[in-house]
Amino acid sequence: MRFRTRAFLYCFVPFALLLASSFWMIQNLVQSRVRDRLRTSLLENNKAVARVLSKSDLQNSQFLRVVGENAALKAGVQLLLSYPENADARRTVEDQLRELCDHMGFSLLVVSGPPLPGRNKNGGPLAGVYRTDGVLKPLDIVSLKLPRNGMTLLNGSPYRIASVAIDQADENIGTLSVGEVFDFSVFSVPAVLFHDGHVLQSGIDGGVSLQELEAAMSHCRGEECDVRLRGVSYIALTMQGISLGDGYVLRNLQNLDVALAPVHQTLGVIFGSVALGSLLAALIFSVASASSIVRPIAAVVERLKEAEKTGELAEFRTEISPVFEIQGLTESFNRTAATIRESRENLTLAYVEFVQSLANALDARDPYTAGHSHRVSEMSQVVARSMLLPAETVERVRVGALLHDIGKIGVPDRLLRKPERLTPEEFAIVKLHPEIGRRILESVHGFGAYLPAVELHHENWDGSGYPQGQSGETTPIDARIIHVADAYDAMTTDRPYRSGMTHDAALRDLSANAGTQFDPAVVRHFIKSNASQPEGALEKYALTLVHPC
């Protein structure tokens, strides 16, 4: 992504996010207010319905007290208590109940026996009638379970029950219960009746099944909950102030989507207008701000890219930008660049001097090998160039060759200067110098690139070398080149116990061992780079290094 684009986004996106979050917070606040108003409206509606139902309960209780004093009904109840299995006695009471229902408009009347000894409950139902399809019919009292007050389910319909005692001369002879079908039409909003967590009846239109409604409201536990039904959001409140009996719960539902639709529409118009104007202003401001920032910084970046290609830190013009901070940045960078250039030149000079000093110190320990590291370095450079290796690789080979025998600092002088051939035990000690050299250099910052040349310049092409026994191209090219140059210089240099080979003899020896001890390609380029020299030229060059004029 371009810097100009990023700068624009850094200016524009935070403002857009702030604007969006503000709109979101305002919308949530409005929705919360609307929700509170809906909750308040539902609570007021529930209180009104509760007052109506309570008033109805009071009227029913008053009617029941009047009915409970009916002498004919008391006589029928006493007769039925005396002959509970007598069908004629039960029909007599049912006729009396039917007459009372017709007269007072009740949907259900039931007579129950007196409380059982040792219990606080009514006795079982004795007789009863209920209204179905406009006709009063006798009740099947065998399976009827009737609470004294609250809700009951009869033939799939919920009934609200109210009861009054039937007394005869200070003696309770039974209970008279009246029931009315629970009417959902008294609620201005849909209502749902639960019993023990299961939906018994619902006032929601639209063909919603009780099972679907029960699944949607299964998470409702407290007095208030949110319900999602067929993609529509509702708020559900538990009906308070109505006695429904154990296990019965009544919840009212208010459609939130319908209530919020006008609000959303109004907010959409307002927010849309405000957002469009704000975003347009932010867009113009962000483009202008991004341009003022990007132009001078882009110029700085271009100069830095040029510096990356050339490897030199170029100085910037201080008038690159009228912005004071950017001018200060370029001035500080120019001072830093000058300091780095000077430090780099000093470091390079010190580095070269240090490497040369190490090589000279090493060669000075043995007069017979004086100049060896320099000669190996020169010959290794020639071979690396002949193989068309990159310039940085040639330089790495040159320095690595200067340092390749640095590990001999850890070899005793008595072994390095011994006039006779070394014994196997002594040669084993000398063979440790590549590993000693690696340990010396790996702790020095900046010498990591030369560790392979120092440690592996005695590895053979066939894997018979040391210290790791590497073979083929597993050994880095630096070490393979230095191995050949090192061997040539060793063969052509006089030692106390032998005379050095001639140039041609050494080349023949290298060719003979190409593919076993040496890399064939390196040997081929070594011979090629030395074939054009006249006979004895290389020996004269070696003598010049050993005995400079």
Does residue 511 or residue 23 have the better pLDDT?
Answer: 511
pLDDT at 431 over 80: yes
Does 37 reside within a domain? no
CATH number at residue 449: 1.10.3210.10
Burial class (CB in 10 A: 0-12, 13-18, 19+), 104: middle
Does 420 reside within a domain? yes
Question: Mean pLDDT, to the nearest integer, of 264-273?
Answer: 70
- 129-143, 199-213, 451-465, 523-537 — which is least confidently predicted? 523-537
Domain end residue (candidates: 182, 211, 232): 182
Does 45 reside within a domain? no
Strand ranges in 478-532 using DSSP code E only, listed in sequence order: none
Does 400 reside within a domain? yes
472-509 pLDDT per residue, tens: 999 999 999 999 999 999 899 877 777 889 999 999 99
Q: How far apart are CA 64 and CA 149, in angstroms?
A: 13
Percent of the chain with pLDDT over 90: 18
Q: How far apart are CA 305 and CA 93, in angstroms?
A: 109
> Number of structural domains, the chain?
2
Residue 309 confidence class, pLDDT cut points 50, 70, 90: low
- 30-44, 205-219, 306-320, 399-413 — which is least confidently predicted? 306-320
Does 490 reside within a domain? yes
Does residue 213 or residue 525 have the better pLDDT?
Answer: 525
pLDDT at 468 over 90: yes
Burial class (CB in 10 A: 0-12, 13-18, 19+), 272: exposed
353-383 pLDDT per residue, tens: 776 676 677 666 665 567 888 899 999 999 9
pLDDT at 252 over 90: no
CATH number at residue 175: 3.30.450.20
Does 124 reside within a domain? yes
State the residue for tokens 């690789």. 393
Q: Which residues pair with 195 in a beta bridge?
A: 198, 248
pLDDT at 456: 95
pLDDT at 319 over 80: no
Q: How many residues does the chain have?
A: 549
- 31-40, 107-116, 174-183 — which is least confidently predicted? 31-40
pLDDT at 26 over 50: yes
Q: How far apart are CA 98 and CA 111, in angstroms?
A: 12
Does 527 reside within a domain? yes
Domain end residue (candidates: 165, 182, 199): 182
Helix, strand or coil, per DSSP, at residue 15: helix
Burial 254-269, CB ≥16 within 10 A → b, else e: bbbeebbeeeeeebee
pLDDT at 120: 41
Q: Which residues pair with 12 in a beta bridge?
A: none
Give the domain range for residue 379: 364-546
48-62 pLDDT per residue, tens: 666 666 666 666 666
Domain end residue (candidates: 182, 207, 239): 182
407-430 pLDDT per residue, tens: 888 888 788 778 788 899 989 998
534-544 pLDDT per residue, tens: 444 344 333 33
Does 352 reside within a domain? no
Q: What does pTM read for this prediction?
A: 0.42
Q: Are 472 and 507 in contact (CB under 8 A)?
A: no
